Every structure is written in C-alpha cells, then in structure tokens.
C-alpha cells in the first residue's frame, strides 16, 4: 500500500512529521506465520501436551494410558528425592547467580582500571563462556577426582587438610558443581558489567570525587546505581540458565552421592528416559515450570523496581 505523498522524487520523509497513517501500516501475515508455526509446533503444543500427561500414567510408549488425576502430584509431594531436587534446583540457581555476578562485577571493576594486562585477561576470563560445557565437565571431573590435580596441588601447597572427596561427599559435590559452572559463566557477567562501566560518563565519577567521595562511596552511590540495568540483565539471565543446569551435574556426579546434587533437570531426564515414567516426569516438569516462572518473575520485579529507583 503506497502512501499518497507528494514527494515523488524519493526524498526521505524524515524531514516531515510522521503521519498517523504510516504508523498503522500493516505488515503481511506471512511474515509472522512461519516463525509462529515452528514455535507452536516445537514449543507451545508440546508444553500443553506435557501438562496433560502430568495427569496420566503414560510410560512414553504404549498408546493407551490412564487418566490418574492428581496421583502423580501426590506422589511427588511424598517423594524425598523429588522434594530434595526441587530444593537443590534453587540452591544451585541462587548460588551460581549470586556468585557469578559478584565475581563478574569484581573482575569488571578491576579490569576497568587501566591495567597493562587488561586485554589478555579479558580474553582469558571470557573464553570459557563459549566452550562446550559437556567437554569441560569431563575436564573438571578429572580435576576433582580423589587422586586428581586439585588434591595434588593442595598437598603440594601444604594445604593437605583441605583435600576433600570433591565429588563423593555431598557438600563438596555441590561446591564442585558450582565452581565448574562459575568458571564458564563468570566471564559473561564480567563483559556485560565492563560494557556497563564504560558507558558511565566520566564526569559523574569525577564530580563525585571532587565532592570528596572515597572509592567505596563512588562505587556505592554512582557506579552501582548506574549499573542497575546491566545487573538486571545478568542476574535474570544467570537465573534462567542455572535453573536449567544439566550437563555439568550429569557428568560430574550424576545427581549423587545419593541424590545430594539431583536437580529437577536431571530428575526429569532420569524419570522419563531411564525409568519410562513419563506421566510422573511430566508432573515434576509442571512443578518445575511454575517454580522457574515464579523465581524469574519475582527477580525481574525486584530488579526492575531497583532500576527505576536509581535510573
């Protein structure tokens, strides 16, 4: 639909005020259709089907199954492994999100000072972000093994008492997974914060210093508030990613010892594909979905409000 216009010479209309007619110009439906079709086929429809299966006892194969109402959910409530994995999902997500941002911010602040090593260090810290988590997890599995390099280095450094069964005892196992995941994610938080820091106008920090503010005060009253949007982005992104954590846990501990490191992701996978209890697995997934949505929306709400207060 060509808008009627007198400028047949092709002069851009930016010199005129935009007309309301152009603002409601339609875009053909077939621009949207293919993307919508694939999205519905691959994501939306299966998710709805998943909710349906949560109320059945389907084993993933037989064409016939029974509707069992809330039986799967009742079983979930009484299943110590499922309850524990719900808890551990949050423990991992919150620990990783917090530490990733803390360390990422610290690294960004450090690298923002004009160090000589700044560029190589930035590359080094960011590189693990793009490496394949599955492959790196096997490397960490070796590092954390009882006779492995970590314990060897600790012994050589005279810290023999700190040698642990990194993957065999429950608390060290959790720590190991957090460390392995952080190694590959801290660099991402760092570059986002670096970009944020570099966009803070120098006059602001200068003005604060001239007013007599020390470095901590500059950080607290100028830098951090200006970084609020970057903080929202990284924290929400960390939460979403670490709530779905799978590869590292699957390789390092398989959910063990016992089920000390089992999360909803690994539990759903085992339930559905090793034990063929897809009805029960779907019920766990439903609970998981609600939990994730709740946490992410809550975090978004809190962080956005902080952004507005300081922005």
Partner 1 sequence: MTAADPHSQARRAGTSRRTALQALGAGLALGAAGWPRSAAAQSYQLRLAALSAQRIPAQAVIDRFVAKYPGSSVNMTAADIDQLYTSTRVSLAAGTAAEVLTVQPGNGNPITIGQLNRFIGDLSGFPFAPKIPKSLDALVRFDGRLLMLPIVLSTIGGIYPTKTFESRGWTLPRTWTEFLALCEKIKASGMIPIAAGNGTNWVNQLITYALLPSIVYADNPNFNEDRRAGKVKFATSGWKEALNKYLELQKLGFLSPNPNGTSIDEQLQMVASGKAAMAIVTSGNLANMFKFAGHRDFAIMPIPASSDANKFWTTASASTGYAINAKAAGSEAARAFMNFLAEPDSVNVFASAAVSPTVLPSAPNPEVDRIFRSWSELFRAGRTTPYPDFTWPNPRAQQIHNAGIQELLAGKTTVDDVLRRMDEAYDA
Partner 2 sequence: MARARGFALRAALLETGMLLTGVVFAFPLYLLLTLALKPQSSWASDPLGLPTQLFFGNVTAAWTQAHLASAMLTSALVVVASTVILVVLGALAAYWIARRVGRLSYGVYLFFIAGMILPFQLALIPLYSTMRELGLLGSPASLILFYPGLKLPLTIFLYAGFIRSLSRSYEEAASMDGANQWQVFWHVVLPMMRPITGTVVILNGVFIWNDFLTPLLYLSGSRWATLPVVIYTFVGQESGDMGLVFGGLLVAMTPVLIAFFVLQRHMIKGFAGGLKG
Under the criterion CB under 8 A, does residue 229 sit at the interface with partner 1? no
Spatial distance between the Cα atoms of 112 and 16, rounded to a whole number of angstroms: 43
Residue 144 neighbours by CB under 8 Å, 6+ apart: 150, 166, 167, 176, 180, 252
From 50, 90, 143, 145, residue interacting with partner 1 (rule: CB under 8 A): 145
From 221, 256, 289, 310, residue interacting with partner 1 (rule: CB under 8 A): 256
Query: What is the per-residue binding string for partner 1 in 73-102, x denoting contact by CB under 8 A?
Result: -------xx---------------------
Under the criterion CB under 8 A, does residue 169 sit at the interface with partner 1? yes
Spatial distance between the Cα atoms of 128 and 114, rounded to a whole number of angstroms: 23
3-state secondary structure of 259: coil
In the block, residue with structure tokens 């089920």: 259
Tell me, what DSSP letter sits at residue 65?
-
Q: What's the Cα-to-Cα distance from 66 to each of 58, 69, 180, 250, 277, rounded to whole Å?
A: 7, 9, 42, 31, 13
Query: What is the per-residue binding string for partner 1 in 194-223, x denoting contact by CB under 8 A?
Result: ------------------------------
Site stretch for partner 1 (CB under 8 A), options 207-215, 219-227, 268-276, 291-299: 268-276
Site stretch for partner 1 (CB under 8 A), options 139-147, 152-160, 208-216, 302-310: 139-147
Give the HSE-up count for residue 68: Cα atoms under 13 Å, Cβ half-sphere: 19
What does 221 interact with, of partner 2, partner 1, none (CB < 5 to 8 A by kind)? none
Query: Which residues of this protein are in contact with partner 1, per CB under 8 A?
Result: 60-61, 80-81, 145-147, 165-170, 254, 256-260, 270, 273-276
């Amino acid at each position: 639909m060509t808008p009627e216009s007198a400028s047949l010479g092709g002069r851009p209309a930016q010199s005129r005020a935009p007309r309301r007619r152009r603002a409601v110009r339609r875009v053909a439906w077939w621009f949207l259709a293919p993307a919508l079709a694939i999205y519905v086929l691959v994501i939306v429809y299966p998710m709805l089907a998943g909710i349906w299966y949560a109320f059945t006892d389907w084993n993933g194969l037989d064409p016939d199954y029974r509707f069992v109402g809330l039986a799967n959910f009742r079983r979930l409530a009484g299943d110590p492994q499922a309850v524990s994995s719900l808890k551990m999902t949050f423990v991992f997500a919150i620990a990783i999100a917090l530490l990733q941002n803390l360390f990422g911010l610290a690294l960004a602040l450090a690298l923002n000072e004009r160090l000589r090593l700044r560029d190589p260090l930035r590359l080094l810290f960011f590189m693990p972000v793009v490496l394949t988590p599955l492959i790196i997890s096997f490397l960490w599995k070796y590092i954390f093994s009882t006779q492995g390099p970590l314990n060897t280095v600790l012994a050589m450094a005279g810290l023999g008492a700190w040698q642990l069964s990194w993957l065999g005892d429950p608390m060290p196992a959790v720590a190991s997974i957090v460390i392995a995941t952080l190694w590959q994610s801290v660099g991402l938080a760092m570059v986002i914060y670096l970009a944020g820091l570099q966009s803070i106008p120098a006059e602001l920090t200068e003005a604060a210093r001239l007013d007599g503010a020390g470095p901590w005060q500059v950080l607290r009253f100028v830098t951090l508030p200006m970084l609020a949007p970057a903080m929202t982005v990284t924290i929400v992104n960390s939460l979403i990613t670490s709530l779905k954590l799978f590869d590292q846990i699957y390789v390092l501990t398989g959910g063990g010892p016992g089920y000390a490191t089992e999360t909803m992701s690994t539990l759903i996978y085992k339930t559905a594909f090793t034990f063929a209890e897809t009805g029960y697995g779907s019920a766990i997934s439903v609970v998981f979905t609600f939990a994730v949505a709740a946490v992410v929306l809550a975090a978004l709400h809190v962080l956005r409000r902080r952004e507005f207060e300081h922005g």
